[in-house]
Structure 1
Amino acid sequence: MVRGYVPGVFDLFHIGHLNILRSAREQCDWLIAGVVTDENAFRAKSKFPVIPLAERVSILEHITLVDEVIVEHQPSKLDVWHDHPFDVIFKGDDWRGTPKGERLERDLGTVGVEVAYFPYTMHTSSTLLRAALEQFAS
């Protein structure tokens, strides 16, 4: 049985999130979605999510593509793996060839985890949605 892992903030859930979950589901038998805490999201992106953590978790718990939802408290995917083992991690291809992507591949490679990349949905992102909301609000 192949256990897959899709980490993310999953803020302002959109088609890009759905695309990666759909693609990941096709390549594993058990799909875990890891929802990043507000604090870790801020550390990574210098902004807090718009949607509260509990609501982001609830949204993913109700998506039939996902078998398990965890809250990702650890910034290290290797630490997450120790608590919730998986065989493959799925990321957008905007990570491929970047220092963060190479570090992820190197760290998870030590425990035999494959990093699989899917096309990043360029026309929709939480960042773009947030900008549109801020423009609309002003």
Structure 2
Amino acid sequence: MAERVGYAPGVYDLFHVGHLNILRHARSQCDYLIAGVVSDEMAVQAKGKAPVIPLTERLEIVRSVRFVDAAFVETVPDKLETWKQVRFDVIFKGDDWRGTEKGDRLERDFATVGVDVVYFPYTVHTSSTLLRKVLDGMLDADSA
């Protein structure tokens, strides 16, 4: 039987339990898991802000997670282009993508090459965005 290769892309900034859960759940649904770590430039393009943790450190953290078999630096916005470089059978995303324009496009694009899109529950109580807001608030308070 062929090995099922999974791909879990993300910025993985301010690594937290939500990231760990996505990687754990993703690994349970494939034989080999590749984590796509979004470059600093791509993160700025997608989210409008640079990550707090530099790419080399985010890559090292993600590579060290026991559920991850390999890590790949994602440098292009088109996930289909990334697929051509990495080749995977299933891509994992948070369910905050489900039913959105970008999620629908992802599903359409990957249907053309036979890649499954699997959504996992988004960790609402812990997110890098929330952690960053807390840090920004702490920094603002220190400079006041």
* Residues 1:54 and 2:62 aligned together: no
**Aligned residue in 2 for 1:73:** 75
* In structure 1, C-alpha distance between the alignment counterparts of 2:5 and 2:76, rounded to whole Å: 19
**Aligned residue in 2 for 1:96:** 98
CA RMSD, Structure 1 to Structure 2 (Å): 0.5
Q: Counterparts of 1:98-137 in structure 2 under 5 Å?
A: 98-137=100-139
What amino acid does structure 2 have at the position aligned with 1:95? W
The runs of at least 4 consecutive aligned structure 1 residues that moved more than 4 Å come to none
Residue 6 of structure 1 is aligned with which of 2, 5, 8?
8
**Aligned residue in 1 for 2:46:** 44
Deviation at 1:135, TM superposition (A): 0.8
Deviation at 1:69, TM superposition (A): 0.3
* In structure 1, C-alpha distance between the alignment counterparts of 2:72 and 2:118, rounded to whole Å: 20
Question: Match of 1:95, SS?
Answer: coil
Percent of matched pairs sharing the same residue: 64
Q: TM-score, normalised by structure 1?
A: 0.99
How many equivalent pairs are there? 138
* Residues 1:83 and 2:78 aligned together: no
Deviation at 1:136, TM superposition (A): 1.0
* In structure 2, C-alpha distance between the alignment counterparts of 1:37 and 1:60, rounded to whole Å: 13
* In structure 2, C-alpha distance between the alignment counterparts of 1:21 and 1:128, rounded to whole Å: 20
Structure 2, unaligned runs of 5 or more: none
Q: TM-score, normalised by structure 2?
A: 0.95
* In structure 2, C-alpha distance between the alignment counterparts of 1:136 and 1:54, rounded to whole Å: 25
**Aligned residue in 2 for 1:15:** 17
